[in-house]
Structure 1
């Protein structure tokens, strides 16, 4: 397949173009509700890709939790086959538009690289019927990533990004790779949580003995 004709290439160019059109309206920030309006209230898979990539961008306190709950809300809407509607506290959250445009340009570059290796195959793993298990996985992972524990969301989020890219490019092999990366990330997250719990319990025991 010609790389320029790959589904993921078309989707990422669409994302970048939509954000640049929004910037032409002299906006400095964009709310998450506005982002949905720009990309489409039923573009569940596209928006899951966008927010998972935004989760890789460092942000202010609470940013990671907001993106995690946003991801969860999109997945719930996809499961219910309904347009995406955010609660006010999430929908009103603003993101800097210039940063989003820079991120979208990176997405286009990464998509061009991935298109060299990724192609439509094992399409049954990316068909509409896959939305249910896909949505359930995203909800589970996003709830883990919402926990206020440093570094807990890094690897699972990489897995979600790979899955999101692969779903849009109809690449079932990529979906499998993303599932493996997500599983590894969840195991590491569980180990971090276990370690934090163990250290907390030990510290509490020492305080009681003092």
Structure 2
């Protein structure tokens, strides 16, 4: 009979990185998503939003961002409705990863993605066009920065560095009433992230990461930073939309003048 690990009771005083590290140890060789969500307790909302937002920032084919936007919208809606814990479909909660693989991921040394390393180390950046075009070779320090090195910090170490910037502050920004507002805002950001707007997915994605850290660490300063990021996202999307509408009107008038 396969031993079943009992998840540690949620400890609201533990940092996000401490919880992640503790999940790497258990009797069951498989780590389920349910165990991960339960380990974060009430902070599960911020943890899931943070992880999905980080994954959404990776390069994906057109429409790939919507895959992450849908669960973020679901989690944010639950947060706005003041649910006590995260609810996800049963089939998704049963998703597993080998605990040994999980530990290796946390201990893996940070490096740029393989495709980016190959492009920087072997390629050049074209600038301009036509007769004014030129090719820029990346400098040695840029090439050195993206190389995969055994002395580079691990994923867990990088997360702990980010956590040092956060701490419980401004409790009024992380209370129950604030959760309702933050949940609604995260829904809007996830919807923006799914829009086919140039760079329109990166800005909402980064803002969702900031909100996720603020929720997990109970940091009102990060929540305020998320609100500022939301305003910037709204202005950017509005400007892009206005530009697109103006271009469509201009093309329409041009065709009208032809006929």
**TM-score over 0.5 (shorter chain):** yes
**What TM-score does the superposition give when structure 1 sets the normalisation length?**
0.72
Equivalent of 2:15, from 7, 10, 20?
10
> Is 2:214 aligned against 1:166?
yes
Cα contact 1:9–1:112 (8 A) shared by 2: no
Give the SS at the match of 2:61: coil
Q: Aligned pair count?
A: 189
RMSD: 3.6
Cα deviation digits, residues 27-71 of structure 1 (max 9, x gap): 9xxxxxx74x35327722211111111111112332111111221
Distance 1:144 1:128, change over 3 A: same
Instruction: Give the aligned partner of residue 58 of structure 2.
Output: 57
Query: 2:255 maps to what in 1?
Result: 207
Report 1:8-47 matches (<5 A). Answer: 10-15=15-20, 18=23, 35=33, 37-40=34-37, 43-47=44-48
Length-normalised TM-score, structure 2 = 0.60
Alignment of 1:85 with 2:133, yes or no, is no
Other-structure match for 2:70: 69
The SS at the match of 1:40 is helix
Sort the Cα spacing of 1:19 and 1:200 in 2 relative to 1 into closer, same or farther, 3 A.
farther
Residue in 1 that maps onto 2:131: none
Residue 136 of structure 1 deviates from its aligned partner by 0.7
Q: Measure how far apart 1:183 and its partner are.
A: 1.3
Are the counterparts in 2 of residues 39 and 47 from structure 1 also a CA contact under 8 Å? no
In structure 1, distance between residues paired with 2:64 and 2:239: 23
With over 3 angstroms needed to count, the CA separation of the structure-2 counterparts of 1:103 and 1:204, relative to structure 1, is farther
Matches within 5 A, 1:79-158: 79-80=80-81, 81=83, 83-85=86-88, 108-158=156-206
Equivalent-residue separation in structure 1 for 2:256 and 2:23 (angstroms): 58
CA distance in 1, matches of 2:35, 2:181: 27
Distance 1:193 1:139, change over 3 A: same
Is residue 45–residue 164 contact of structure 1 (8 Å, CA) maintained in 2?
Answer: yes
Q: Tell me which residue corresponds to 2:240.
A: 192
Structure 2 runs not aligned, ≥5 long: 1-11, 111-154
Map Cα deviations across residues 158-209 of structure 1 (whole Å, 9 max, x no partner).
1221121022111111211221122112211211121122212222332343
Partners of 1:55 and 1:67 within 8 A in 2: yes
The residue number in structure 2 matching 1:31 is none
